[in-house]
Amino acid sequence: MSLTTPQSEPDVVVIGGGLVGGAMAYGLARAGARVCVLDEGDLALRASRGNFALVWVQSKGMGMPEYAAWSKRSADAWHELAALLRDETAIDVAHSQPGGFTLCLSDAELQQRVDGMTRLHNQINMVEYGYEVLDHAETKRRLPDIGKDVAGSIYSPIDGHVNSLRLFRALHEALQRRGSDYRPNCAVEAITPENGGFRITGPWGEIRAPKVVLAAGLGNARLAPMVGLDAPVRPSKGQVIVTEKTAPFLHNPMVTVRQTDEGGVMIGDSQEDLGFDTVVTQPIISLMAERAVRMFPRLAGLNVVRTWSALRVMSPDGFPIYEQSTAHPGAFVTTCHSGVTLAANHVLTLAPAILAGALPDVVAPFNARRFNVPAHA
């Protein structure tokens, strides 16, 4: 690694170069800021490398309808983001919005999902979007390859997916083309508010900027208090299987099964609360595979080429945290577990607002102060 070269102070330092940090940095650079990104290296936990790549809205926002609206806004804006990235980088991130299914393998499971969607959409101020409850026959009509065990499904036309590894690469490529200063292997040890700005230090040296954006995923829990913010995030483990590439046969994404634009079938969506453990475990993987084969019997013949696990960045209620420090204005925290779905909002809405100096009202509900009030009855 070469030593960082001295240069003029950036307008903003973004801490974290994953999908959230990459999107924030790209959005800031696009809005005209001189941006420096301080990233960890190849051993970073990096949910951006392990995620399931859905742009997903259905089922989100129970307990916070504003999150459903925020997710839908991003799903709507994703077309613009994909076009921007294609124009700037010539990288096609394979975004599509064909509508997504949640397949249920028993009547009880389907009823539970239907009740959940009813409660979700009965919330006051819930954003309007269409969804359908489909029985086996109607699901089979739309997805001819489902197995006999599929009792039914929930379908929503606003769900979609992307190639998230290409999204990751496109954000970094766009940053580079915008002349941003990307520094890998620069883990941050301390942030010190100083003279109305921030001094950010680590073993690599130090850098100063009038604004700092914390987008360090699970690292935000440690960094946020240094600038008077709170980001009590913890890891939630998810395991993923990918098969060999096959000719396309799944047009739509399911919440647990999707065929990528390159042909591999991903099977995922396990959730475990095991701290920073990232071991792939056979019982979980085999359960996921068994359910996927019951959903799509054709999967049974495919070879699995890789399994892995990654850590979601979960707040206590599962919703994002966006906040500017009141003690040290100019310091912002941005964290969520849906860096793919929300990428369009981060680039197009949040980043320009941060450069302008104030978060928009639409993200006011995502203030971390919500964790410090007693839950209402």
- Per CB under 8 A, residues contacting other proteins are 145, 147-148, 244-247, 249, 263, 265, 293, 296-303
**Positive or negative: CA dihedral 345, 348, 352, 358:** negative
CB of 34 or CB of 298, closer to other proteins: 298
Rounded least distance, CB 56 to other proteins, Å: 23
CB of 290 or CB of 317, closer to other proteins: 290
Rounded least distance, CB 172 to other proteins, Å: 24
> Three-state SS for 77?
helix
Rounded least distance, CB 268 to other proteins, Å: 18
d(CA 320, CA 105): 30
Cα–Cα nearest to 18, from 48, 40, 45: 48
Rounded least distance, CB 257 to other proteins, Å: 12
Rounded least distance, CB 160 to other proteins, Å: 22
d(CA 238, CA 271): 5
CB of 215 or CB of 288, closer to other proteins: 288
CB of 300 or CB of 364, closer to other proteins: 300
For 270-288, give one letter per residue: b (16+ CB within 10 A) or e: beeeeeeebeebeebbeeb
Find all residues with CB under 8 Å of 178, minimum gap 6, and list them. 26, 29, 30, 35, 88
CB of 114 or CB of 302, closer to other proteins: 302
d(CA 87, CA 102): 33
CB of 58 or CB of 252, closer to other proteins: 252
CB of 125 or CB of 303, closer to other proteins: 303
What are the DSSP calls for 30-49, one per residue? HTT--EEEE---TTS--GGG
**Positive or negative: CA dihedral 118, 338, 35, 218:** positive
Rounded least distance, CB 29 to other proteins, Å: 33
d(CA 319, CA 341): 13
Structural tokens at position 200? 């950010």
Rounded least distance, CB 301 to other proteins, Å: 4
Residue 52, classified by CB atoms within 10 Å of its CB into exposed (0-12), middle (13-18) or buried (19+), is buried
Rounded least distance, CB 138 to other proteins, Å: 17
Rounded least distance, CB 114 to other proteins, Å: 25
Length of the chain: 377
| Cβ-contact 37, 17 below 8 angstroms | yes
Strands 152-156 and 132-135: antiparallel
CB of 80 or CB of 262, closer to other proteins: 262
d(CA 49, CA 238): 12
Alpha carbon separation from 152 to 132, 161, 188, 372 (Å, rounded)? 11, 21, 48, 40
CB of 265 or CB of 344, closer to other proteins: 265
